[in-house]
Chains A and B, each alone.
Chain A
Amino acid sequence: MRRVILAVTGTIAGLVALLSFKSHVPSVPVAATTGGSGGSSSSSSSSSSSGGQTTTVPGEFPQGSLAGQLPAGETAVDGKAADTAYGPVQIQLIERNTKIVKVAVLVQPANTLHDIQIGAFAFPKLISETLAAQNAKIDAVSGASYTSAGYIASLQSALDQSA
């Protein structure tokens, strides 16, 4: 019985120690990239009403600007950073002959591992489905989820800018 108590209290104490050290760590510093060839003359970068921080996060989906590595005939257009409840989302479209061939994520919320998780498996799908949605020849997308909203808004703005 003594061993059980020792194991339980030791585990809890260890967890509390680890977590409290990490709760003093400030959120990851912002490193939003807005490169790419799609500059616009409209207003400046987003004002985040939530105060969330963002960073480019390594992941499986194309991340970071692809503008510098494009073959001939492809152009990169950056959407504006669009706000979500937990931070801005910004995407970049790679277009060839009026078709979107690739989508890269420039900025996504990364306050917690959960954010990164959502991004890591949501964004590849979001991206592949953008390419499919394009075939549906729609004029707009209506939706409510936060990543979608930010993504859609950013997607919309990227399209808007290049039109």
Chain B
Amino acid sequence: MPGGGVLSGSLGSSGSGRYRHAEHVMGTVVSFDVPARAREPRGPAGQIGGPLGEAVRWLHWVDATFSPYRDDSDVSRFGRGALPLADCAPELAEVLEGCAVISARSGGYFTTMPGGTFDPSGYVKGWAIERAAAIFTAAGSAEHSVNGGGDVQFVGDRLWRVGIADPLRPGRLALVVAGRDFAVATSGVAERGAHIIDPYTGQPPVGLASITVVGATLAETDAFATAAFAMGSAARDWVESLDGYEAFAITAAGAIWQTSGFGAYLG
């Protein structure tokens, strides 16, 4: 319904003409905050059309193609060696290239082979969200955000405010980050189960409870956040060395640190 919806004011979106949509895909919920016109034109059966429909279809396609949990996805078949790269979707090559860059820049802490099986999910999710946001940009939207289960791409020259969940106190916000035209990604220990493994020790990393990285685009930002978390305490120096990325971390003991340029993002 029109963006003068009952909650838009309380969440600080910039007035009328906005639409929020939640799509269940890729094992999480992706939330869209887009101009209301992004839904149009509607499809013949009344489904969501326009750039929003396109973005939703894009995400489902990524899910089908890149999910390591589906045996028939390109990623699974490629990983088994059942499908040569040339026969896979061309986007897989693009993803592999992106992963290689991240892996090199992170000294191997970001890896597409966690635990021995091929799984580029650490890069794919952020990349898919970034591409989804790009769909709206191409359609002429000046202000929108796409949030993939906690990793967000913001587009628009207005101040976006993001609350960072406190990993040690469920439900509390550790701080609020604000920025324009940027991406925010957080990696950390789940309350149950650590999905990130330090590739050098084979164990979940120790040292950090969570780390939040901000940058311009979500694919790299998300992947850097994953790599930084796997590094543990060594992440600080590493992110400092990266141009255009800043980080804020909460250690397992509850202490906090941030890179020198992070102050610009404090909300």
Contact = CB atoms under 8 A, between A and B. Distances in A.
B44 interface: no
B165 A148 contact: yes
Nearest to A86: B192
B9, B21, B32: most-surrounded residue (chain A CB, <10 A)? B21
Contacts of A95: 6-7
A162 interface: yes
Contacts of A138: 11-12, 161-163, 173, 176
Contacts of B69: 49
A137 B12 contact: yes
Contact of A137 (B5, B32, B161, B195): B161
A82 B29 contact: yes
Contacts, number: 196
Contacts of B173: 129, 132-133, 136, 138, 141
Interface string A21-47: 000000000000000000010110010
Nearest to A50: B27
Interface in B27-50: 27-29, 31-33
B176 A136 contact: yes
Contact of B152 (A84, A85, A140, A149): A140
Interface stretch (B94-102, B143-151, B230-238, B255-263): B143-151
B189 interface: yes
A75 B209 CA distance: 37
A129 B172 contact: yes
A160 B21 contact: yes
Contacts of A122: 170-171, 191
Contacts of B151: 142
Interface in B141-190: 145, 147, 149-152, 154, 160-165, 167, 169-173, 176-177, 184-190
A158 to B, nearest CB: 8
A82 B29 CA distance: 6
Interface residues of A, number: 56
A157 B192 contact: no
B29 A163 contact: no
A156 to B, nearest CB: 4
A99 B10 contact: yes
A152 B165 contact: yes
A100 B163 CA distance: 17
A123 to B, nearest CB: 8
B3 interface: yes
A92 interface: no
Given A134-B10, A141-B165, A157 B188 contact: no
28 contacts: A79-B22, A82-B149, A86-B193, A95-B6, A98-B10, A100-B10, A122-B171, A125-B171, A125-B172, A133-B173, A136-B161, A136-B176, A138-B163, A139-B145, A142-B151, A142-B186, A143-B186, A144-B167, A144-B188, A145-B189, A146-B191, A147-B170, A149-B149, A152-B150, A153-B29, A159-B11, A160-B20, A162-B5
Interface of A: 40, 42-43, 46, 49, 75, 79-80, 82-86, 95, 98-100, 114-115, 118, 122-123, 125-130, 132-134, 136-149, 151-154, 156-157, 159-163
